[in-house]
Structure 1
Amino acid sequence: MDLYFHANFFIKRRFLLTLVFTLLFLPFIVRAQITPTVNSRLNGKIIDAQTKERLPGATIAIKGVTNSTTTDAKGEFTLVSGQPFPYTVVVTYIGYLPKELVIDGSPVTISLDIDTKQLNDVVVVGYGTQKRADITGSVSSIGKTALQQPVTSFDQALKGAAPGVQVTQTTGQPGGGVSIRIRGGSSIQGGNEPLYVIDGFPIYNAGSTAGTLSGTPVNPLSSINPGDIESIDILKDASATAIYGSRGANGVVIVTTKKGKADRSSVTYEGNYGVQTLRKKVDVLNAHDFAILRNDALYDATPAKGRFQYLTQQQIDQLGDGTDWQGSAFRNAPTQNHQLTVSGGSAKVRYLISGNYQDQKGIIRNTDFKRYGLRANVDAHPFERLKISTALTLSKADANIAPNGIVNSLLIMPPTATIYDPNGGYTLRNPFENIFANPIATINEQINKSTTNRVLGTTFAEYKIIEGLNLKVLFGADVNTISEKKYIPNSIYEGSLTRGQAGRGSLESYSWLNENTLTYDKNWGDHTINVLGGFTQQSFSRENFTASSQNFVTDELGYNSLQGGSTLIAPTSDATRWDLQSYLGRVNYNYNRRYYLTASLRADGSSRFGKGNKWGYFPSAAASWNIGNEPFFENISKTVSDLKFRLSYGKTGNLEIGEYQSLATLATYSYLFGGNMITGFAPNRIGNDRLSWEKTDQYNAGLDIGFFDNRLQLNIDAYYKKTTNLLLNVQLPWTSGFDSSLQNFGSVENKGLELAVSSQNFTGAFKWNTQFNISFNRNKVLALGNGANTYITGNYIIQVGQPLGNFFGSVTNGILQTGEEASKGKYTGSATPKPGDRLYKDINGDGTFTTAADKAIIGNAQPDFLAGLTNTFSYKGFDLLIFLQGAYGNQILNTNRQNLELFTGQQNAAASALDRWTPANPSQTIPRAKLDPAPVFSDRFIEDGSFLRLKNVNLTYNLPRTFAAKIGLSNASIYVSGQNLITWTKYTGFDPEVTSGSNVSPGTDAGIYPVAKSYFVGVRLGF
């Protein structure tokens, strides 16, 4: 509705009514003026009860009479009552609870409490907003307490904050990304990440758009300052997401940034400083124990005698603990964040401008992340029928990225080796004649930089054609430039092999958006209808290149002189583009705020699919019944204050398969002819004109219920979604000339239950609120392509009837003991079994064990349930937040453990080696040491990934307003905060929450940069 138009209309109508009233009652007015009255004048101010900020525009009225006034820009008022004290006044302000109190003198200060129910009343949905009570779909809103966490990227704040949303950090690298699954993963080879809509601009964050050189890319979403965000709404069921059609199958995360407020100029500053530490070390052998292990491995290997040197007991005793490689690489790392925001405006123009600087050092030396950000949001209402709004983000992010595989190198480096040799240079060769890349040298000397510049902005104009009918035209652009620089010097082991290696890469991406929508709102009697129709189009293009060379005379110029390398490596370059055009429509109807219906349809045309299947159609329908507004409900409303049922169905799609997948393509190949290298082209992919969308049908049933005037609220959702037409590489006959083709085959289902509970346990001077959520999801593969039943890739298996994420390997069955070589030796997988070898189960029943034939499902990466619990306490200016987060039932492939339990004596080993099998210690679980083991992937390396984590504790003290005013502040608060403080888990790796892997192979801890435990102190100041 146009507030300006109605304000004018109201003023004109009030003037006419006043004029008529004056003419009719003029005699009485004159008489009243000559009658003595009491001219009681009430002065005062109205403030926020918690922040003590003044509230301009609040209304104060005398109960039972017409006298009223509003507060000015300073939150102050003067009310001429015409009657003596005491009398009762009623104070109201949008977003706050009304207050009624008796006034017996002047001046007064009246404080109002925020109406938390009204505060959460409006939810951002696709192409608009809705009152929460009017929503028919499943939508979760992230509270401000979650957004106040000191995180680098806002997607990290979603951990445990909403039911049905699984957030997994793929790396602890500063500025690193996360992977998000909303109601489980539906695709096998396509994308499973949700769609992000930031101030109206859709962005698909695949975790990386860079990584051409670094190996561990920076999260593109980290370019957006979390302190600029006002709200996050997560659309989960198809009724809510179908309006995004081909991109809604994995859920939608709608991010709205902060805006200025009319007649409320303010300057705020927030800053914090913190220290990050490694949560735990992985237990490995010290030098003394490692040397004993090495001797055991050498004694076992007859060919090794004469090739390697054994250590005497005296030499072993002199080794001590040796080098602590983890302790030398990890550090206590500082981090700081600063934000200055200026906001204000008038009835016609509102603005908010903020600047942000963040500097986060990594817990691994020589790694960091710096962000410089500027945001400007302007909302203008220049004419009665026209609104204009602009949201603009400018950011630059610089990162020093940890070398790829460095964490694994720290674990396997022998503790007997030293960081520096006697001459002060880096040690390249350890005392046992084995060559290793010195990880400290790699960390200190290797250069691995990434710089990201981003411009993200949207602007729209909304024009009211007639009453209730509005036209909105939006334009947006997202421009990214990423530059990567790498140099490996000749002074370290990796660089000595090539006499130095330099590389540079860049990636430029540009996306533009245009949306044109018409919205019609109409109320007549008990009927309300909202109709949305529109046309949108978006285009995305990307270009990237890399260039590198090696064999340098000097390391001084690094990556700034590629031509200085005498050996040039062939450069690479690439360019891609996709386009999307869409038509959309939605109708919302409700009768008397009891019965609600929603229907939507979107048609998407994408350049990514075959020429006969570029268009897809995605409908949805939903209904809800707000029983709480029924007349008969009044009899039980004292106990059950609200009750609502929701049902929905919808179809959404997935187009995240990369560009040009439906087309036949050529690849470059090099051949040697006549002593010359010749480059040519040859077909490398067959075309598929029938390639189309993955389609997800989803059903949702929900119940929203409130007790005791909504002090206790429950939201329950049950869902079933089935994804068909999976995009899979299907094997082709060799006669076709190709081994596989991307086709639409197969289906996957997800079904689950979500529960969210919110309670106001105590109100008044002492407040205690609780939010709890828990979600269960069950995933199953229903069909695979071309009649196949099983798809095996490495250590993973995808099988019909089983969930995605199954680990596939051998099953351990104890340790071969002395005298059992003849009877059980065939189950070791060794041609010459010896006591101390690990035994494995014979899965196929052929009477022997082989690694290729005897495999089974040995675990799954998907949790049985996810949960989050937040408690907030407030008392006399103190606010305490305690947030617990957890997962149960998932397994993790600990590849670090797999490497550390080889017990070869050529690399360091896990502390479990202390209990290895020896003739004096016939262990039943840990095998013997041997120089050349045949690694077997087994259930030994699949660990329970369940955990409960004290994720965030925040204690804030809000200074009294009187004290703040003395130092020139409108409000001030200080806080201390801790993140990842305590983790209860059986997982032996660095962190159970950090895993990587693709859709096909999830749940892998492959030497990932660990997540830090952090402590912060900060301030928030208002001027």
Structure 2
Amino acid sequence: DNIEGTVKNSSLSRLTAKLNGSQNLFNDKVRIDLSLTGSNVKNNYAPISDNAGFQGSLVGAAIQANPTYPIKNADNKTFFYPGGDFRNPAAMLDYIDDSDNINRYLTNVSGTWNVTKGLAYKITFGLDNSKSVRETFLDSRLQGYTGGANYRGIPIDQVTGNGRGILQNNKLQTTLVENTLTYNADVAGNALTALVGLSYQDFKNYSFYNVAANAVTPNTSVNNLAGFKKQVPVFGDSSRNELQSYFTRLNYNVKDRYLITATLRSDGSSKFGANNKYAYFPALAAKWKIMNERFMPKSGLFSDLSLRLNYGQTGNQEYPGGAALQLSQRQLNGDINILNDANPDIKWETTTQYGAGIDFSLFNGRFGGTVDYFNKNTSDLLFLQDFAQPTANSRRWTNLAGNVINKGVEFGLNLQAIESDKFNWEVLYNMTFLKNNVENFGNTTVITGDINGQGLSGAYVQTIRNGYPLASFNLPTFEGYDANGLAIYPNDAAFSVVGSALPTFNAGLTNNFTMGKWNANFFINASTGFYIYNNTANALFTKGSLKNARNVTQDVANSTEDALNAPEVSTRFLEKGDFVRLANASLGYTFDTKNLSRVKNLRLSLSGQNLLLITNYSGLDPEVNTNKALNSVPSRGIDYTSYPSARTFTFGVSAGF
């Protein structure tokens, strides 16, 4: 693959090779399977980032660029904006180089031994190796890089940056060894499958990076870090984690009427504290095929009818390895800083889920679907806790009290609207009603949703608190401007919960058409009941930007806001995100090749993605989620100079010879 990005200087090239093989031995008693995959991926990145500072990286620079300013000077050199507090987007493309090279190798070898009739032993060995090198260079001629007065101890001119080089190396290795024993039997006409297994995974991560600044000449590059005056010693990091799992599963099918599946897992992770490395996760599911009962008529309204019940638990260990231990760091001056306090009692985050469903089909399969109710309860939430200063220890990982409840109803429907020799029309529809809530959280309040922008240091817009959904926005209410053009916030600008970034309704509609050798389809999706915080507008689209000769939207330019009004976080920048999108559509034609001796098949197709969007959201795209986590607490529904979804059209030719 060789793909050019929508934004200049962005691209992806990928080369992949695969080899698969299998061999039966000892009169088919033993089977060996081998799978090898190697890939090389090269990326060139445009200067776009979730953590872009108050200027908002390339997208932010382009949005606020003054249209009356030239791109180049009369001498064809890059024009630098006066004042140096925001950047010429063309200069960012000219003077920032960012690329990486990733090599990855996957090996999977398995051996299956058919011990006796119905009994099989299988051993699997897997190895996943990847190595990446990323090189980032900021030319000394780049104006307006305001990454701070220093970067990891390197003094940097805040206006020009004087050039910067960053070299990052990462190596990941995952090893898997899994053993399973499977038994299949017929018990009085009922099908029984039993499985027991043991799995071991080893995760290793090595990384280091060099940072240098203040280039001697504009031609200095990452390949010559010695050409920078200021350098930091190599920073390195390594980690190793293990996951051990013991599991068993039992499937029992009684007369193809009653199906039961029971599983039990015991998972042990080296990430957790000494007292809670292991946890047990059971699951049980049952299905009743009512149509196979003797009392159901074989010809009638229903062609299929089944009921389902399920219960189960799963565990989450996705937090940094070693975080249960006390971690410290030795500084260059010899001092030791404690980074993380030990917690031997930290344990698995657990999600308990139960639900029920019905499967049905009517009119000989012309109309059917599923209806499901689900309830998920997540407890022992993994959380990075900060300690009040001054303390010897700054933070530690712990389990929060409380529960996060996700529940709802999901419908999936299918209709064969027209079925004939000349024309077929199939309709697929799904919709989900969702409700999320935090319960038993006490008086704890967790903040997240870090906001970027000049004068917005330390601002946040989301909280997790008892009785409200996750990703709830906590903001002062904006009620317009007073006679002086200053914002009005009632109740002394008191903060209150004013909505959530989580949708309460999702839907998707697919239509498939076939007529002769033509076929067409389209997919529409929709989401409602959620809000988006427009950090882009908060940071860039205020009246104060005009006095700095920056571009703003027309409604801001024509508003009664005074240029001295502070751009504080509030419901002024909170918008509904409801949308309906024509996500993709395609049209194809398959040629009749029976008279073409050398051509077996020939097909032409035209497809498009992101073709139409209906929304009242003022940003580029309501399906946005800029990562604005705070203290490792994830955020959702914040838009900050985000890269928009591309509208693409693809013409394809498929031929077989």
Equivalent position to 1:837, from 469, 481, 486: 486
Tell whether 2:358 aligns with 1:703.
Answer: yes
* Residue identity opposite 1:634 in structure 2: P
Shift of 1:570: 3.6
Q: Is the 8 A contact 2:523 2:585 kept in 1?
A: yes
Q: Deviations over 1:410-468 (max 9, x none)?
A: 112222322112222111133xx564321111012210102221122322121211111
Shift of 1:531: 0.3
Shift of 1:763: 2.5
Change (3 A) 1:977 1:480: same
Equivalent position to 2:258, from 595, 598, 602: 595
Q: Distance in 1 between matches of 2:440 and 2:38?
A: 46
Q: Deviations over 1:853-879 (max 9, x none)?
A: x11123211011111111111121211
* Residue identity opposite 1:812 in structure 2: F
Which residue pairs with 1:360 in the alignment? 3
Which residue pairs with 2:383 in the alignment? 728
Q: How does 1:439-454 map to 2 (within 5 A)?
A: 439-454=89-104
Q: How does 1:737-756 map to 2 (within 5 A)?
A: 737-746=392-401, 747-756=403-412
Q: Distance in 2 between matches of 1:733 and 1:424?
A: 55
Q: Does the residue aligned with 1:613 lie in a helix, a strand or coil?
A: coil
Which residue pairs with 2:53 in the alignment? none
Q: How does 1:349-748 map to 2 (within 5 A)?
A: 358-382=1-25, 383-403=27-47, 404=49, 405-430=57-82, 433=83, 435-494=85-144, 497-634=160-297, 637-670=299-332, 678-730=333-385, 737-746=392-401, 747-748=403-404
* Residue identity opposite 1:994 in structure 2: V
* Residue identity opposite 1:973 in structure 2: R
Which residue pairs with 1:757 in the alignment? 413
Which residue pairs with 2:151 in the alignment? none
Q: Is the 8 A contact 1:994 1:1011 kept in 2?
A: no
Shift of 1:680: 3.0
Shift of 1:780: 0.9
Q: Distance in 2 between matches of 1:572 and 1:461?
A: 42
Greater shift in the superposed pair: 520-529 or 376-385: 376-385
Q: Deviations over 1:593-639 (max 9, x none)?
A: 0011111101011100011211111111121110011111125x432
Q: Is the 8 A contact 2:339 2:395 kept in 1?
A: no
Tell whether 2:582 aligns with 1:977.
Answer: no
Q: Distance in 1 between matches of 2:414 and 2:21?
A: 34
Q: How many residues align?
A: 615
Q: Distance in 2 between matches of 1:916 and 1:699?
A: 52
Shift of 1:783: 3.1
* Residue identity opposite 2:487 in structure 1: R
Q: Does the residue aligned with 2:539 lie in a helix, a strand or coil?
A: helix
Shift of 1:802: 0.4
Q: Is the 8 A contact 2:247 2:264 kept in 1?
A: yes
Shift of 1:950: 0.9
Normalization by structure 2: what TM-score? 0.90
Which residue pairs with 1:1012 in the alignment? 646
Q: How does 1:922-1001 map to 2 (within 5 A)?
A: 927-928=561-562, 930=563, 932-963=564-595, 965-966=596-597, 968-997=598-627, 998=629, 1000-1001=634-635
Q: Deviations over 1:204-223 (max 9, x none)?
A: xxxxxxxxxxxxxxxxxxxx
Greater shift in the superposed pair: 954-963 or 803-812: 954-963
Q: Deviations over 1:323-366 (max 9, x none)?
A: xxxxxxxxxxxxxxxxxxxxxxxxxxxxxxxxxxx222122111
Q: Does the residue aligned with 1:408 lie in a helix, a strand or coil?
A: helix
Change (3 A) 1:948 1:379: farther
Structure possessing the higher relative contact order (Cα contacts under 8 Å, 6 or more residues apart): 1
Q: Distance in 1 between matches of 2:30 and 2:45?
A: 48
* Residue identity opposite 1:783 in structure 2: N
Q: Distance in 2 between matches of 1:730 and 1:576?
A: 21
Unmatched tracts of structure 2, length 5 or more: 50-56, 146-158, 449-459
Shift of 1:735: 8.3
Q: Deviations over 1:932-974 (max 9, x none)?
A: 43221111111111111111111111121314x43x2322211
Which one has a larger percent strand, Structure 1 or Structure 2?
Answer: 2
Q: Distance in 2 between matches of 1:803 and 1:745?
A: 16
* Residue identity opposite 2:213 in structure 1: Q
Change (3 A) 1:361 1:733: closer
Q: Is the 8 A contact 1:376 1:393 kept in 2?
A: yes
Identity %: 30
Equivalent position to 1:805, from 471, 479, 489: 471
Q: Distance in 1 between matches of 2:168 and 2:639?
A: 28
Q: Distance in 2 between matches of 1:471 and 1:972?
A: 45
Q: Deviations over 1:530-589 (max 9, x none)?
A: 101111100010111111212223233421101111211343110011101111001010
Which residue pairs with 2:440 in the alignment? 783
Q: Is the 8 A contact 1:488 1:501 kept in 2?
A: yes
Equivalent position to 2:499, from 859, 879, 883: 859
Q: Deviations over 1:290-333 (max 9, x none)?
A: xxxxxxxxxxxxxxxxxxxxxxxxxxxxxxxxxxxxxxxxxxxx
Q: Does the residue aligned with 2:594 lie in a helix, a strand or coil?
A: helix
Change (3 A) 1:387 1:632: same
* Residue identity opposite 1:418 in structure 2: P
Unmatched tracts of structure 1, length 5 or more: 1-357, 671-677, 818-833, 843-848, 918-926
Q: Distance in 2 between matches of 1:423 and 1:736?
A: 58
Shift of 1:775: 1.2
Q: Distance in 1 between matches of 2:247 and 2:71?
A: 63
Q: Does the residue aligned with 1:1012 lie in a helix, a strand or coil?
A: coil
* Residue identity opposite 1:658 in structure 2: P
Greater shift in the superposed pair: 707-716 or 694-703: 707-716
Change (3 A) 1:807 1:972: same
Which residue pairs with 1:153 in the alignment? none
Q: Distance in 2 between matches of 1:874 and 1:463?
A: 47
* Residue identity opposite 1:477 in structure 2: L
Q: Is the 8 A contact 2:142 2:161 kept in 1?
A: no
Tell whether 2:429 aligns with 1:772.
Answer: yes
Which residue pairs with 2:150 in the alignment? none
Larger Rg: 1
Q: Does the residue aligned with 1:909 lie in a helix, a strand or coil?
A: coil
Shift of 1:486: 0.9
Q: Is the 8 A contact 1:783 1:789 kept in 2?
A: no
Shift of 1:734: 6.1
Change (3 A) 1:780 1:365: same
Which residue pairs with 1:329 in the alignment? none
Q: Is the 8 A contact 1:816 1:839 kept in 2?
A: yes
Change (3 A) 1:792 1:436: closer
Q: Is the 8 A contact 1:810 1:936 kept in 2?
A: no
Which residue pairs with 1:908 in the alignment? 551
Which residue pairs with 2:154 in the alignment? none
